[in-house]
Amino acid sequence: MTQTLRLKKNADRRLKAGHLWLYSNEVDIEATPLKGLEPGAQVVIEAANGKAMGVAYVNPNSLICARVVSRDPNMRLDRSLLVHRLNQALALRQRFYAKPFYRLVHGEGDLLPGLVVDRFDDVVVVQLNTLGMERLAEEVVAALDKVLSPRVIVFKNDSSGRRQEQLERQVTVAKGELDGPVLMEENGVRFHVPVLDGQKTGWFFDHRANRAWLNGLVAGKRVLDVFSYIGGWGVQAAAHGASEVLCVDASAQALERVAENAALNGLHEQVTVGEADAFEALAALKADGEQFDVVILDPPAFIKKRKDIPNGERAYGKLNREAMRLLGRDGLLLSASCSMHLAQERLVEVVRGAVRHQDRHGQVVYQGHQAADHPVHPAIPETAYLKALGVRVFRD
């Protein structure tokens, strides 16, 4: 017998609007005590009047205490529903992408809260970010086997979100064998991706369309790629005709990958690397009198929680100011943010402030967001996290 979770009066509004999350303060704990539920168990969600509204999995110890997996109260998240959702997700990606390199499952955006799957042809990398999904690990493997039959399945369960769900962080190979990086292609450029020991799943597919836009504007240009990671932006810029690319990152290991990926595409002469803190590197380049035609800023999230917004916005402001100082008289800045809590208009405001600080003019010529393999759930603003601005920065 499946247990129920009853909501307080009027606490079902967001659910009716399509949202998939429930917060602990929305639950009628007198009717259905949260603490009496087994963490990770699936429950039927009821409105205050007792009407069944769907099925969710619960974690009484988390602020988001339940995540809806189906509007049908008779359904359960099991192998069968996972296969159905994976097939739906796959159909979307195959509509947009000719080659099997993409995010296959984007959590709530694909109606699978807590699950992320990135596909590198016959290698898939899985993140189980919630207890409810963790309990289904075997079913996830079986469903992926049925839909894709990949050669390798990696569980990259080392995200910070797992701590909030009181889960251990670990990386394991659940199927097959993998001892090094995998080969993938994006925008016609090949990369070796470190899925086992790289950041997140090893690659950031979300900026694919933004990189494609910039690739058309770099021929013959001198390009600076800050927070380069393994060269997603910089190596692609070189492949699309940039005369010179400098990739800066604080990680020596990431920069080794940049050099490998440049060589993989026959671009080792165009691409150089510099190991440094981004802010220190920008200051040092300015002190050396360096100038670039294009500067790319793709930092990690400076704003992880709402309380970080003031400090985070200041950091974005400083970063954009320092980057603009390195642009020539008529340069192009690609300014990105993956902070969910930084709205697009706030990033525009950050850029505006930085332009004025340098006593220059700015024109926003491009506003980009995450690619189609990171679908946005229209009821969940948090699924639309990525921003990218193309800004022409020039003097009178």
- What is the spatial distance between Cα 331 and Cα 223, in angstroms, rounded to a whole number? 10
Task: Output the DSSP codes for 251-311.
Answer: -HHHHHHHHHHHHHTT-TTTEEEEES-HHHHHHHHHHTT--EEEEEE----S-SSGGGHHH
Give just the sign of the alpha carbon dihedral 159, 165, 169, 170: negative
* Nearest by Cα to 291 from 352, 246, 334, 336: 246
Phi then psi dihedrals of residue 152, to 5 deg: -135, 135
Structure tokens at 227: 């927070």
Task: Output the DSSP codes for 176-239.
Answer: S---S-EEEEETTEEEEE-TTTSSTTS--GGGHHHHHHHHTT-TT-EEEEES-TTTTTHHHHHH
* Nearest by Cα to 117 from 191, 203, 184, 7: 203
In 3-state terms, what secondary structure has residue 168?
A: coil
- Tell me if 324 sits within 8 A of 358, measured CB to CB: yes
- What is the spatial distance between Cα 217 and Cα 8, in angstroms, rounded to a whole number? 54
Catalytic positions: 338
Label the pairing between strands 189-193 and 182-186.
antiparallel
Quote the crossing angle between the two packed helices 309-324 and 344-357, to the nearest 10°.
Answer: 50
Angle, CA of 97, 100 and 103, to the nearest 5°: 80
Label the pairing between strands 152-157 and 123-128.
parallel
- Tell me if 170 sits within 8 A of 163, measured CB to CB: no
